[in-house]
């Protein structure tokens, strides 16, 4: 049986505002008990991005929870769009840990998921045994912000799966220049669902971008910088950077490494924002990092 064939259990929990949220729960392979891993996706993505990642982590002996952040995937859309902000997302993650009786876990956060991890650590440091920040930090390159703002929350005219594949290629080709047409279709299958008429639609609430439109995201945050430094002092941290990233530029990554000299740093060649973690360099980095953790 391949890694991707590993089954998961569907989990739901209720957020403080009553929203019903969803995660894929992959059981750990047999072996000594080890702390679980929480996987958190990026801004417009969902837990499907980890369908090839979660199984090999679980095969290493850890329970894995791949979440759908509210408004994405199978998690409920928020009645109040202004709740689509990092503090709410962090509270949702803590509610999940409480609902499932998990006191500590290793967090792997891609882009927005990494920022959610920083806020989880601020609210409950004891819950974060370690953190893997995938192509994200307390500072964001303005070029990347502009690119993502150009498509996030904006519905495209999509009639079929070929249109969906062309859409993800148009919005992400700069990050994945070596992707094949099959890769683009696979990415589309994870980011779209079919509506009642059988047409692919983006698998998130378009209003997730509303808070950003009312209050533009700053490219620097003194609070995020403080939280990053605090986390890196008190917990093991792995920073992954896509070598072509326009979000976590090389100078920003260098600044983070100077601020946190004990942090493990690995670069993933040939990709930009953000590595899918299936890349050989990313997988090796995570496997090596987690192997040293309880």
Q: Are 124 and 262 within one domain?
A: yes
pLDDT, tens digit, 9 for 90 and up, residues 89-140: 999 999 999 999 999 999 999 999 999 999 999 999 999 999 999 999 999 9
pLDDT of residue 154: 63
CB count in 10 Å sphere of residue 170: 12
pLDDT confidence bin for 217, thresholds 50/70/90: low
Query: Looking at the domain assignment, is residue 142 inside a domain?
Result: yes
Q: Are 176 and 70 within one domain?
A: no
pLDDT of residue 212: 83
Residue 244 clears pLDDT 60, i.e. is over it: yes
Q: Are 66 and 34 within one domain?
A: yes
Higher-confidence residue: 209 or 51?
51
Q: Are 51 and 100 within one domain?
A: yes
Q: Which are the contacts of 18, defined by CB distance < 8 A and separation ≥ 6? A: none
Q: Measured between alpha carbons, how far is 48 from 50 in angstroms, rounded to an integer?
A: 5
Query: Looking at the domain assignment, is residue 255 inside a domain?
Result: yes
Sheet holding 9-14, edge to edge: 9-14, 20-26, 64-68, 37-40, 105-110, 128-134, 237-242, 264-268
pLDDT, tens digit, 9 for 90 and up, residues 140-192: 998 887 777 777 656 678 999 999 999 999 999 999 999 999 999 999 999 99
Return the ∠ at Cα 260 (arms to 259 and 264), rounded to 5°.
Answer: 140
Q: Measured between alpha carbons, how far is 233 from 237 in angstroms, rounded to an integer?
A: 9
How far, in whole angstroms, is CA 142 from its chain's centroid? 20
Q: Are 193 and 87 within one domain?
A: no
Q: Are 147 and 280 within one domain?
A: yes
Residue 293 clears pLDDT 90, i.e. is over it: yes
pLDDT of residue 221: 87
The residue ranges of DSSP E strands in 204-272, in sequence order, are 237-242, 264-268
Q: Are 13 and 95 within one domain?
A: yes
pLDDT of residue 32: 85
Query: Looking at the domain assignment, is residue 70 inside a domain?
Result: yes
Q: Are 120 and 240 within one domain?
A: yes
Q: Which are the contacts of 149, defined by CB distance < 8 A and separation ≥ 6? A: 209, 212
* Residue in 191, 246, 151 with CA at minimum distance from that of residue 48: 191
pLDDT, tens digit, 9 for 90 and up, residues 24-39: 999 999 888 899 999 9
Query: Looking at the domain assignment, is residue 211 inside a domain?
Result: no
Domain count, the chain: 2
Query: Looking at the domain assignment, is residue 242 inside a domain?
Result: yes
- State the average pLDDT for the chain: 94
CATH for 248: 3.40.50.1820
Query: What is the pTM assigned to this prediction?
Result: 0.95
Domain interval for residue 144: 3-153+219-291
């Amino acid at each position: 049986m391949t890694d991707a064939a590993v089954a998961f259990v569907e989990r739901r929990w209720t957020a403080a505002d009553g929203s019903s949220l969803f995660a894929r729960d992959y059981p750990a392979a047999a072996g000594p008990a080890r702390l679980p891993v929480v996987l958190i996706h990026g801004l417009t993505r969902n837990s499907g991005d980890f369908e090839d990642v979660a199984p090999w982590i679980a095969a290493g002996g850890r329970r894995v929870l791949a979440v759908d952040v509210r408004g994405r995937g199978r998690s409920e859309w928020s009645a109040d769009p202004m709740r689509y902000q990092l503090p709410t997302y962090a509270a949702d993650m803590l509610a999940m840990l409480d609902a499932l009786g998990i006191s500590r876990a290793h967090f792997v956060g891609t882009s927005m998921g990494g920022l959610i991890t920083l806020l989880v650590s601020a609210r409950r440091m004891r819950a974060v045994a370690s953190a893997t920040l995938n192509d994200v930090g307390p500072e964001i390159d303005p070029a990347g912000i502009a690119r993502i703002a150009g498509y996030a929350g904006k519905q495209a005219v999509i009639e079929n799966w070929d249109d969906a594949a062309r859409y993800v290629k148009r919005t992400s080709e700069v990050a994945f220049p070596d992707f094949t047409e099959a890769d683009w279709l696979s990415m589309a299958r994870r980011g779209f669902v079919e509506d009642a008429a059988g047409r692919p639609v983006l698998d998130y609430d378009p209003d997730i971008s509303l808070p950003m439109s009312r209050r533009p995201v700053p490219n620097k945050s003194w609070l995020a910088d403080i939280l990053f430094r605090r986390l890196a002092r008190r917990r093991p941290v792995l920073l992954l950077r896509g070598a072509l990233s326009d979000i976590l530029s090389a100078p920003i990554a260098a600044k983070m490494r100077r601020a946190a000299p004990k942090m493990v740093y690995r670069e993933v060649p040939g990709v930009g924002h953000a590595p899918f973690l299936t890349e050989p360099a990313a997988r090796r980095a995570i496997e090596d990092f987690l192997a040293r953790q309880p």
